[in-house]
Chains A and B, each alone.
Chain A
């Protein structure tokens, strides 16, 4: 296992404490670098934690080659990314690449971990694909999508947030984490930006909009 990037001795215990608090988990225990979690539906899932700035397809392939066969690989820190490529690479092997909050939502939801997809990500992705000017929508990382347009216009990287108080600190951290984005799409229908957030978005040249507003802007240059 030493040839897998991002593993560390402290991670399994950290992950164990975290999953034990989940309502979808009956009990859990550590075995080497894996955490075995028994879910309330009776199934047992094997979880592996890593600490990488970006969890990508290379790490997933390293894990597959090491033969550990976890059901999910979790990038432990919230400031870390889980790249879309990791999610794609894990799927054929039945491995979900997840952030901690995704893991908790997936465990609480009760479904297969590798089938988990954030509802707002799935919705926006599905919705945009029906737009006549959109040729593809790809996941860059856990909360950033890239939309490619068919009319020769430039592609757009945008972040999604389902927070319902869009504030200055949230916006600043999103731009810090995802400097390439040119829009932040608010998927929570109750999501309201504060004045400071609106001003800040203007100064940074980033659109702050709802899904419908973003949809309408697809034909803009």
Chain B
């Protein structure tokens, strides 16, 4: 996994180092490096250039090769934007944009939020998502998709399309845009470690919801308090995903008793023995508080699950701290604490929550693989 981050950062650094030579180009990853980075012999890089000068493009390619080849062999495809539009190479190859500058050196901002998301998606995708799903990844920024649809409307409707036709094009673009990204990752990348079918489906739904909320927030260009609300929803969902991952992990460790003698024997402070010969954690239910029949005492809590994951050695203290931070963020539902206070850093918090879920999933996969614990069938 860290190697994948290195690939992306090496390429981005190379592009940055080339400065104005790289202006007017967009860099994409495609091919085996994207689908199966662990066994890719080389890195396929597509550079789409706007300046229409193939010599300049080839000179850029040579300079980039000198930097990146030292890391791993590269294969460049250089296409002018006109050629890429003609053959739709970036779309059909499912290429993922990782770097882009306009002709005057400005960073391409239309897709940069998503680019960051893609990188983290790809980190987890490297071994968790079936290869075929990467073929649906492309780079349609919402602006570009809307633009293409509107051009199509103009072509169909002549020079004066109706308001209805413009509106239809906008709605269809939004639907396509969301469908595109949710198809690429319907929640599987953060939940592939979960063995229990029911639990995995529930967690997948939560991860997918969080993704849709993120996309809706982006497409509607929400700002300020509205966007914080959307971020908060993502944190709830990713919190649920992490809880499901941990529950499944501790359940697998307990049922298999691997690693030996590390499974918890009693629940979260209530002293009730866990029946590992029976259903294990899945049988433990929240119980009604004697003093207040309307209140429930959770016996298996998120906090307890995090602690158990540390005890069995599945996560380190850094990930545990991140999980506790996510848990606390998720648990703050209080009239006196405004949304703004908990989610000041806006989109970053949603992204961090997603990263934590992906990291936890990777940690669970690694731990289960190491100890031969049950995993879902591929």
Contacts and interface: CB of A to CB of B under 8 A. Distances in A.
Interface of A: 14, 17-18, 21-23, 77-79, 100-101, 104-105, 108, 163, 165, 167-173, 176, 192, 194-197
Given A17-B71, A168-B54, A172-B58, A196 B78 contact: no
Interface in B37-57: 39, 41-42, 49, 54-55, 57
B154 interface: no
Contact of B62 (A79, A101, A163): A79
B41 A23 contact: yes
B368 to A, nearest CB: 25
A23 B39 CA distance: 7
A165 B77 contact: yes
Contact of A170 (B39, B78, B86): B78
Contacts of B77: 163, 165, 167, 170
Interface residues of B, number: 27
A21 B73 contact: yes
Given A78-B65, A169-B57, A18 B41 contact: no
B83 A167 contact: yes
Contacts of A101: 42, 73, 75
30 contacts: A14-B70, A18-B70, A21-B71, A77-B66, A78-B62, A78-B69, A79-B62, A100-B73, A104-B41, A104-B42, A105-B41, A108-B41, A165-B77, A165-B79, A167-B78, A168-B54, A168-B80, A169-B49, A169-B54, A169-B57, A169-B61, A169-B78, A169-B79, A169-B80, A173-B61, A176-B58, A192-B87, A195-B86, A196-B82, A196-B83
Given A192-B87, A196-B80, A196-B83, A169 B41 contact: no
Nearest to A21: B72
Contacts of B62: 78-79
Interface of B: 39, 41-42, 49, 54-55, 57-58, 61-62, 65-66, 69-73, 75, 77-80, 82-83, 86-87, 89
B25 to A, nearest CB: 11
A86 B82 CA distance: 40
A194 B83 CA distance: 6
Contacts of A18: 69-70, 72-73
Contacts of A21: 71-73
Contacts of A104: 41-42, 73
B86 A169 contact: no
A104 B43 CA distance: 12
Contacts of B49: 169
A195 B66 CA distance: 30
A171 B58 CA distance: 10
A17 B66 CA distance: 12
Contact of B55 (A17, A172, A192): A172
Contacts of B65: 78
Contacts of B86: 194-195
Contacts of A171: 54
Contact of A194 (B39, B58, B66, B79): B79
Contacts of A100: 69, 73
Nearest to B66: A77
A101 B42 CA distance: 9
Contacts of B58: 169, 172-173, 176
Contacts of A23: 39, 41
A22 B62 CA distance: 21
A186 to B, nearest CB: 14
Given A100-B69, A169-B79, A196-B80, 15 more contacts: A22-B41, A23-B41, A101-B73, A101-B75, A104-B41, A165-B77, A165-B79, A167-B77, A168-B80, A169-B54, A169-B58, A172-B54, A173-B54, A195-B86, A197-B83
Given A172-B55, A192-B87, A195-B86, A167 B73 contact: no
A172 B53 CA distance: 10
A138 B338 CA distance: 77
Nearest to B71: A17
Contacts of B66: 77
Nearest to A105: B41
- Give the 3 A-B CB pairs with smallest separation, nearest first: A169-B78, A169-B54, A172-B54
A165 B87 contact: yes
A44 to B, nearest CB: 20
